[in-house]
Amino acid sequence: MLKFLPRRLLQLVPTLFLVSVLIFGLQQLLPGDPATVMAGEEHDPAVIEQIRKQYRLDRALPIQYLYWIKGVAEGDLGESMRIKQPVSQLIATKLPVTLQLATMAMLFAIVIGIPAGVLSAVKKGSAWDIGANVFALWGISTPNFWLGIMLIFLFSVQLGWLPASGFVSPFEDLRQSIAATVMPAFVLGNAIAAVLMRHMRSAMLQALGSDYVRTARAKGLLEHVVILKHALRNALTPVITLGALEFGALLSGAVLTEQVFSIPGFGKLIVDAVFNRDYAVVQGVVLVTATVYVLLNLLADILFILVNPRLRD
Amino acid sequence: MSAAVITPTELAVPRDGPWRHAGRRLVRRRAAVFGLCVVAAMVGLALLAPWIAPFDPLATSFALVRKAPGSTHWFGTDEVGRDLLSRVIWGGRASLAAGVISVAIAIGVGVPLGMLAGYAGGWLDAVVSRITDAMLAVPFLILAIALAAFLGPSLSNAMIAIGITGTPIFVRLTRGQVMNVRAEEYVEAARAVGNSPARILLRHILPNILPPIIVQATLAIAAAIIAEASLSFLGLGQQPPAPSWGSMLNTAQRFLTQAPWMALFPGLAIFQTVLAFNLLGDGLRDALDPKAT
């Protein structure tokens, strides 16, 4: 573990460096003069000149990058052209909203995906197994924004049980907050549940076919003890780490879900920024997402070693 | 000379090729055959759209605004009186083209890069692998949105964005496969008789690593169709008034109370097409890789 960690941390450096180059490079894709495009509707030469100065667009590319990355390292992700606020501040206000949504979605995914996977492995070939597999296939094939629209139609328009859109902070009104996030969280968690179910099923099938499960059965242990204590505990390990990797899918899905349900989170921030041609915000959001994702992968690796005694030394 | 060695019985029973064998395994899977049929039907509809679509997908009519599904307009009409069935059929063109073209871009860039990295090793492999890692560090749709945002909103830019975003998966897959077979005896033998690296890669390695790439391509088309629909839903793909399933859903959301059918049919079209590609991909995996099952 002690040997592994520094090496793994060292690996992050080139990855994050290249991610930053990639994100910085996006600017080069802008057609025409970047300063003019970034100014958008504004045609005042003074404004364009100011943008050119601010982003040092008159300097060589590597110099521009160095200035940009120096700012990033100091927590300065630039300023939003449209809202005239520091990008880091914008992200800081939107991130908790998305994190709440993502946490609830993950909860849905675990509560649905793990039992479904266990059940379909234990009852392999039965109607339960077929049902769980159909559910998984449905989950990965349904575009989540469409599912969101259909649920809004059912639960908000037809039945009037849940609000169709908006967000309430849990610190203001917990009940309202849950009512507003339960549908988007289900929509977001649904696809992850399908993936978790598939992972859980194959890990469980492997565990059930192993020697230690045969031994446990031979000892005369009750079947549910064998399944829950012996097979499930071992099968969960790979699923936990694979589940952590699904966080990327969660962030991607949040963009659409927040759009459908008008939730003022991280995903809506990037979409609004795209339409306002607020390129500094787009770059900032992508950079923060990538960093969070890379760190989560690291966490998953560490977790995998911690829960797996054989790898600990 | 060599013909004398072959016994008549061997000639009478021709050896079954691996591809034909895989084809037979695929046909035995009902779900995969169903997927294949749906894919074929959707491709047929998209190709024959000008002759099959009952109405002009762009023709508006104030007399027909938001008509519910009926005998003339099977899927109903939209907010400006356009026939939804015709728009769904024409929209299939955008979705399928986006799926196939973006995956073709990802394969066209990713497979050669992966083969070079896996075969050459050394610094080339290190550079390619680090760039792949960096691209995979950004969640798929977020990278696609960022690329589409900077390239500008249009269907072709969406395809490029999805294609670039999908490339690292093919690089990583191909690289791993090449590294697996690089040390195989038949590759050693090909090298020993003096084949050039290019010939070894194309004639000896590529045919052997093709099956997992085909499986991945099928599943990637499913993901690309969802990605195109997502970008169009956000307004970054196909631009109005040209029909696409994603942008139709975007409009439909605003008329959910008055015209829910506007949201139902484009969504079903995406679901059915993506499901079909996923079923086909799963079936191909079972048929092409007997070890995986």
ipTM: 0.84
The dihedral through the CA atoms of B12, B16, B20, B24 has a sign that is: positive
Residue A195 touches chain B, beta carbons under 8 Å: no
Give the pLDDT score at B2: 46
Inspect the interface and report whether the beta carbons of B133 and A256 lie closer than 8 Å.
no
Is the previous residue joined to B243 through a cis bond, with omega within 30 degrees of 0?
no
Each as own residue / partner, the long-range contacts of residues A131-135 (CB below 8 Å, 24 or more positions apart, any chain) are A132/A197, A132/A201, A133/A201, A135/A194, A135/A197
Measured between CA atoms, the residue of chain A closest to residue B132 is A15
Give the pLDDT score at A2: 61
Cα–Cα distance measured from residue B252 to residue A194, given in angstroms and rounded to the nearest whole number: 27
Which tens digit of pLDDT belongs to each residue from B183-239?
888 888 988 898 888 898 888 889 888 888 988 999 899 999 999 999 999 888 888
* Cβ neighbours of A142 in B, within 8 Å: 271, 274
Cα–Cα distance measured from residue B175 to residue B177, given in angstroms and rounded to the nearest whole number: 5
Residue type, A226: V
Q: Among A303, A116, A105, which residue's Cα sits nearest to residue A198?
A: A116
CA distance B252 to chain A (A): 9
Give the pLDDT score at B29: 81
Residue B230 touches chain A, beta carbons under 8 Å: yes
Give the pLDDT score at A313: 57
Cα–Cα distance measured from residue A116 to residue A100, given in angstroms and rounded to the nearest whole number: 24
10 Å Cβ neighbour count for A83? 16
**Which helix (DSSP H) or strand (DSSP E) does residue B113 occupy?**
helix B84-120
Q: Quick one: how far is CA A124 from the chain centroid? A: 31
Residue A295 touches chain B, beta carbons under 8 Å: no
Per DSSP, B17 falls in state P
Inspect the interface and report whether the beta carbons of B270 and A146 lie closer than 8 Å.
yes
* A38, A277 contact by CB (below 8 A): yes
Give the pLDDT score at B62: 79
Q: Among A251, A258, A259, A249, which residue's Cα sits nearest to residue A289?
A: A251
Give the pLDDT score at B15: 60
* pLDDT < 50 stretches in chain B: 1-4, 8-14, 292-293
Number of DSSP helices (H) and strands (E) in chain A, helices first: 14, 0
Q: Out of B131, B147, B274, whose CB is closest to A18?
A: B131
What one-character-per-residue DSSP string does B222-242 give?
Answer: HHHHHHHHHHHHTTSSSPTTS
10 Å Cβ neighbour count for A155? 16
Inspect the interface and report whether the beta carbons of A289 and B279 lie closer than 8 Å.
no
Cα–Cα distance measured from residue A80 to residue B258, given in angstroms and rounded to the nearest whole number: 37
Residue B40 touches chain A, beta carbons under 8 Å: no
Q: ∠ at Cα B151 (B149, B152), nearest 5°?
A: 65
Residue A141 touches chain B, beta carbons under 8 Å: yes
* A252, A311 contact by CB (below 8 A): no
User: Which A residues, 12 through 71, put their C-beta within 8 Å of a C-beta on chain B?
Assistant: 14-16, 18-19, 21-23, 26-27, 29-31
Residue type, B112: P
* A207, A231 contact by CB (below 8 A): yes
Residue A229 token pair: 């204590």
* A117, A201 contact by CB (below 8 A): yes
CA distance A171 to chain B (A): 29
Give the pLDDT score at B3: 46
Inspect the interface and report whether the beta carbons of A289 and B138 lie closer than 8 Å.
yes
Report how many Cβ contacts below 8 Å link chain A to chain B: 133
* pLDDT < 70 stretches in chain A: 1-2, 32, 40-42, 308-313
Inspect the interface and report whether the beta carbons of A286 and B226 lie closer than 8 Å.
no
| CA B248 vs CA B79, B95, B125: distances in Å | 11, 12, 43
Torsion, Cα B31 B36 B41 B43, to 10 degrees, reads 140
* B237, B228 contact by CB (below 8 A): yes
Give the pLDDT score at B10: 47
Q: Indicate the pTM of the whole model.
A: 0.86
